[in-house]
Amino acid sequence: MRHRVGGKAAGGGPWKRAPGAGRGGPGAERGVAQASAQADQTRREADQQSKQLMSNAQKIADQIAAQAKAQAAHAKAQADQLMADTKTELERHRVAAQREVDELNRQKDAITTSLEQLRRLISGQAPATGPPAEAARPAALE
């Protein structure tokens, strides 16, 4: 191991060896073994932490997916209910409009009959055999 000394070459080069570096021996081997053991321990801890983070992330992702699925199902149910309500309301309006059209057609037919009777009376012809003029009155006036 070399240490820089004051930015200048010390001992013939830009780096200086630490005392005892480069020399073998039981102390160096013990230091290497400790460093290797520490590196292995750090790697195991990092692997464990990584697995825990991945597990947590998967749980969170599953929760988010479940919430999104539930919200989508709720939104679909609301949309289906809105469609059913809208169809019911539309049918109610259609039936009311059809009743009004039927009533207006009945009134039109009664008016047409009354006009035909008036034309015959004015032209001197005998009255037609149809409903009396009172039947031509609109139901709203009755």
- Give tens-digit pLDDT for 95-136: 999 999 999 999 999 999 999 999 999 998 655 555 555 554
Structure tokens belonging to residue 66:
């479940």
CA dist 13 and 36 (Å) reads: 29
CA dist 112 and 126 (Å) reads: 17
Structure tokens belonging to residue 102:
């039927």
The SS3 assignment for 16 reads strand
Q: What contacts 130, CB < 8 A, 6 or more positions away?
A: 113, 116, 117
User: Between 114 and 12, whose confidence is greater?
Assistant: 114
- Give tens-digit pLDDT for 41-100: 999 999 999 999 999 999 999 999 999 999 999 999 999 999 999 999 999 999 999 999
